[in-house]
Chains A and B, each alone.
Chain A
Amino acid sequence: MRGWASLPLSRSRTARTSIFFVVLALVCLAFSDIAVTTANPWQDLMRFFWGIVTPDFFSSAGLATAVLRTLAFAFVGVTIGSIAGFLLALVYRFRIVRTFSAFIRAIHEIFWALIFLQFFGFHPLTGVLAIAIPYSGIFAKVYSEILDEVDPEPRNLLHSRVGALSAFAYARIPDCWEQLRTYTSYRLECGFRSSAILGFVGLPTLGFYLESAFSQGHYSEAGAVLLLFYALIATIPLWVRPRMLPFYVLAAPFFLGDGMPIVWGNVKRFFTEDIVPAPLREGATGESFWPWLSELLVDQALPGIWNTLLLTQMALVATGVLALLAFPLISRHFGNRLSRTGGHVLLVVARSTPEYILAYILLQLWGPSMLPAVVALALHNGGIIGHLIGRQSSFITLRPDAPRGITRYGYELVPRVYPSFLAFLFYRWEIIMRETAILGILGIYTLGFYVDSAIQNIQFDKAMILILVTALLNIGIDILSRRIRKRLALQTMPTC
C-alpha cells in the first residue's frame, strides 16, 4: 500500500508546507464562528451596490475637507516616516535598532491613533504620528534591505581617504535611488489608505464620513465616499509626479486643520499615571499586581490571541486561494483584452479598499461573525497578490503548442509562479495578523476587541499591556514567516 509519504507531492518542501497550512486552516475553521446572521444579507448587499451606483456627493459639506485632510495626514505622516526610517536604516545593523523598528511597526496605525488620542486628543499630531511611527519602522527595514543589496564595488574603488558620508552619497545611494524612490511612492499610496481609515476612530479623514454614512444606512453617501477614495487612489499616477512632490510635501502641513489645542500636562499624566498598572500606582500596595496581570492575561489576552490566530490562519489560506483564482483574470495567457481590463478593475478595487473598510461593510451586511473578516482580508490581500503574480505570469513565454484553459493554468502557469506566490503570501502573513488584531474593534473577538474594551472603560494600563501582547505576537509571526521563507528559499519584494 502506498502511504502518504510516498506521494510525489509530499516530497517537495513547498507542497508539504502548503498542505500543512491548508489543513491548519481547516482545523481553525472547525473551531471558529462562521455565520451569516442578518435576515436579508442579499437585500442589504443590493442596497449597498445601489448606493454605489447612485452616489450622493453633496450630502455632507465636509466631504471636500475630508479629502484634503486625508491627503495632508498621509503626506506629512509618510514624509516624517520616510526620513526617520532612512536614518534608522543607516544604523540598522544594531540589534537594538532592529528590535525597536520591529516593535513600532508591529503596532497598527489605529492602535497608535488610539494611544495618541488619549493625550493629544483631536489634534493633527495624533493623525500624523499614528502614520509616521509605524511607517518609520517599515521604512527602516525596507530601506536597509535595499541599501544592503547595493553592489559594493563602486565603494571599493573609492580612495581610502574619501569620507563615509561622500562615499555613501556618491557610491551607494545612486545605485539604489530608483528602488528607494519606487518604494517610497508605493508607500505613499499605503499612507492614503491608512489616513482614510483613521477617520473610523474620529480623525477628520474620509473614514469619518464613511463610518457615519454606513452606520446610518445612508448607502448613497457611503458610495460617494468610496468612489472619491477610489478616484483618489486610481489617479495617483496622474497627480503624484516627482516634480510636484516637493510642492505637496510643503503644502500638506498647512492642510492638517486645527483640531484642538494640546494640553501638555495630559501627556505627562498619560505616561506617569494612566499607563502604570493600577496595582502599582501611588497609594496601592503592589501586592495585587500579579493577580491583576494574570487575570488580564487569562481572561482577555488568551482568548484574544486564540481568536486572532484562528482568524489569521483562515484568512491567510483564503487569501492564497483567492489570489490563485484571481491572477488569470489579468494574465495575458487567458481571456482577451476586454476580460483583462475587467480583471484589472476588479483587482484594483479589491486591493485599494483597506481591509478595515471591507470588513466594516461586510459586518454591516452579514452580521457579526468571523466570516466577514475572513472575506475582507482575503479580498484585499488576495487582490494584491493576484495582481503581482498575474503581472509576473504575463512575462512567462509558453510554447506555441502549450495546452489551453484549465490545463494551461494547472500545469503550465501555477507551477511557475508558485514560489513567488508563496513568498508574497508568507510576506503578508504578518500584515494579515496586524489587521486581524485591529478588526476586533469592529466587534470580532480578536485582540483589538479587548484593547478597545479597555479603552472604553478608560483603563489604559490594561489597553497598553494588550497592545504589547499584540505587538509581540506580531513580531513572533514575522520571525516565523522569515524562517519559512528562508527554508523554502523564497525571495520577495515588500508589499503593504
Chain B
Amino acid sequence: MLKKFIGLATLAAAMQSYALSAAADTFVFTAIPDQDETQLVERFGAVEAYLEEQLDVDVRYVPVKSYAAAVSAFRNNQVQLAWFGGLSGVQARRLVPGSEAIAQGAEDPEFQSYVIANTSTGLEPMDELSDDLRDMTFTFGSKGSTSGRLMPEFYLREAYGEAPDEVFSRVGFSGNHTRTVRLVEAGTYQLGAVNFKVWESGVEDGSIDTDKVQVIWETPYYPDYQWTIRGDVNERFGEGFKEKVTQALLNMDDPDLLERFPRSGFIPASNEDYTPIEETAESLGLLN
C-alpha cells in the first residue's frame, strides 16, 4: 500500500513539473493530417524552422491524428496557429471568437476535388456524374475533410439526389488523401474522392500508377486550405505578433518549402472567403 501512496505523491510532484515546463511561451502550431505523416512531418518541420527564424520566438509543430484533434487543440489554445482545410477552418473559427484566416495558398481560392476510379471499372472521364457509378464502392478521405468529403459529398448529392450510402454499395472513409489514392489504386474501393493537389503531385513524382487509377470527374472550384490564427496571440506574444506571423507566411518564398505544400505561394485570406464552405457544411448537417 505504502508504495502506492508514495507513487501518488510523486505523481503530484511530477504534475507540478509539467506546469512549470508549460510556462515557457512557445508558439505552437498544428495542421490537419490530410496526407501521409512522413510528408507532413517534413513539410511542417521546415515551416517550424522558418517561422522560428522569422518570429524570434520558440516555435513548435505538433502532429495530430485527426482533423477534429487539430480543431480541438486550436480551440483549447494548445496551439495558436493551424493549417486547416476549408471545413476544419470554419469549425475552428466558429469555436474561437476572434480567430482569423490570415493566409491561403495561391491555388486555394480555386480548389478542386477529383473523383478517381480504378481502371478495372472501365469508367472514362465524364463531364457530368453518370449513373454508371451507381452501386460501385466509394471512399472519401477523412470524415472532416473539405476536399475529401464535404465538397465531393455535396456534388454527389446534387447529381444523384440521394445520400452517398444510397448511391454506392459501400462507402468508406480512408483517413487521408494519400490513402484514398492507394486504396482505389489497389481496387479496395472502385471509386474515391481526392484533393486535386495531392493527386497532381503524386502523378508528377510517379507515386501514382495512372495505369491503375485515373481521374473521371472534377468538381467545380471552391475555397479550401488556409492558415488560421487565434485572436489572442498579441496578448501573449506581444503587440503586432499576428501581423508578423501573417507577413512571415505571405513572404514564404523558398521554392523547396513551397514545393512541399505544394503551393506556388501564399496570398492574404479572410474569414469571409470561406462562407461558401460554411453554407455547404450547414446544408449537410456537418455544422450545428
Interface of A toward B, CB cutoff 8 Å: 33, 37-40, 44, 76, 79-80, 82-83, 117-119, 121-125, 200-202, 208, 211-212, 215-217, 245-246, 249-250, 252-254, 256, 258-263, 266, 278, 367-368, 443, 452-453, 455-459
Contacts and interface: CB of A to CB of B under 8 A. Distances in A.
Given A40-B186, A122-B73, A458 B170 contact: no
Interface string B1-44: 00110111011011101110111000010000000111000000
| Interface-centre pick from A216, A278, A457 (highest chain B CB count, 10 A) | A457
Given A258-B22, A263-B78, A38 B188 contact: yes
B25 to A, nearest CB: 10
Contact of B62 (A260, A263, A459): A260
Given A250-B10, A260-B28, A263-B78, A455 B18 contact: no
A15 B287 CA distance: 52
Contact of A443 (B68, B71, B173): B173
B188 A37 contact: yes
B71 to A, nearest CB: 6
Contact of A202 (B66, B75, B187, B286): B66
B265 interface: no
Interface stretch (B50-58, B174-182, B218-226, B243-251): B174-182
Contact of A260 (B22, B176, B178): B22
Main secondary structure of the interface of B (DSSP, over half): helix
B208 interface: no
B233 interface: no
Contacts of B170: 33, 37, 368
Contacts of A258: 18, 21-22
B172 interface: yes
A124 B18 contact: yes
Contacts of B7: 76, 79, 246, 249-250, 252-253
A59 to B, nearest CB: 10
Contacts of B18: 123-124, 258-259, 261
Contact of A117 (B72, B175, B179, B188): B72
Given A212-B37, A246-B6, A253 B188 contact: no
Nearest to B182: A217
B14 A82 contact: no
B113 interface: no
A161 B172 CA distance: 68
B66 A254 contact: no
B143 interface: yes
A119 B64 CA distance: 15
A441 to B, nearest CB: 10
B14 A202 contact: no
Contacts of A256: 14
Contacts of A368: 170, 172, 188
B76 A253 contact: no
A121 B76 contact: yes
Contact of A215 (B36, B75, B144): B36
| Interface-centre pick from A39, A262, A368, A456 (highest chain B CB count, 10 A) | A456
B65 A458 contact: no
A459 B13 CA distance: 35
Nearest to A441: B66
B64 A202 contact: yes
A215 B187 CA distance: 16
Given A117-B72, A216-B38, A458-B95, A39 B142 contact: no
Contacts of A278: 288
Nearest to B175: A215
Interface string B148-161: 00000000000000
Nearest to A367: B188
Nearest to B94: A458
A88 to B, nearest CB: 15
A263 B188 contact: no
Contacts of A457: 68, 143-144, 286-287
B257 interface: no
B187 A38 contact: yes
A211 to B, nearest CB: 7
A119 B73 CA distance: 9
Interface of B: 3-4, 6-8, 10-11, 13-15, 17-19, 21-23, 28, 36-38, 62, 64-69, 71-73, 75-78, 91, 95, 137, 142-144, 170, 172-173, 175-176, 178-179, 182-183, 186-189, 286-288
Nearest to A200: B65
Given A216-B38, A259-B18, 10 more contacts: A37-B189, A39-B188, A125-B15, A202-B66, A215-B36, A215-B175, A215-B176, A216-B36, A261-B18, A443-B173
B65 A459 contact: no
Contact of B4 (A44, A82, A216, A254): A82
13 contacts: A121-B76, A212-B37, A215-B37, A246-B3, A250-B7, A253-B13, A253-B15, A254-B10, A263-B76, A266-B76, A368-B170, A368-B188, A456-B142
A44 B186 CA distance: 10
A123 to B, nearest CB: 7
Contacts of B142: 456
B172 A443 contact: yes
Given A117-B69, A260-B22, A254 B37 contact: no
A246 B72 CA distance: 37
Contacts of A263: 76-78
B72 A118 contact: yes
Given A245-B3, A260-B78, A456-B67, A39 B187 contact: yes
A258 B142 CA distance: 29
A160 to B, nearest CB: 26
B283 to A, nearest CB: 14
B68 A456 contact: yes
Contacts of A83: 4, 8
B78 A261 contact: yes
A258 to B, nearest CB: 5
Contacts of A453: 143
B73 A121 contact: yes
Given A37-B188, A39-B187, A261-B19, A456 B37 contact: no
Contacts of A455: 68
A39 B66 CA distance: 27
A169 B134 CA distance: 70
Contacts of B66: 201-202, 456
A202 B37 CA distance: 12
A121 B72 CA distance: 8
A201 B72 contact: no
A394 to B, nearest CB: 35
B78 A452 contact: no
Contacts of B37: 212, 215-216
Nearest to B4: A83
A121 B78 contact: yes
A187 to B, nearest CB: 14
A254 B78 CA distance: 21
A140 B67 CA distance: 36
A76 B67 contact: no
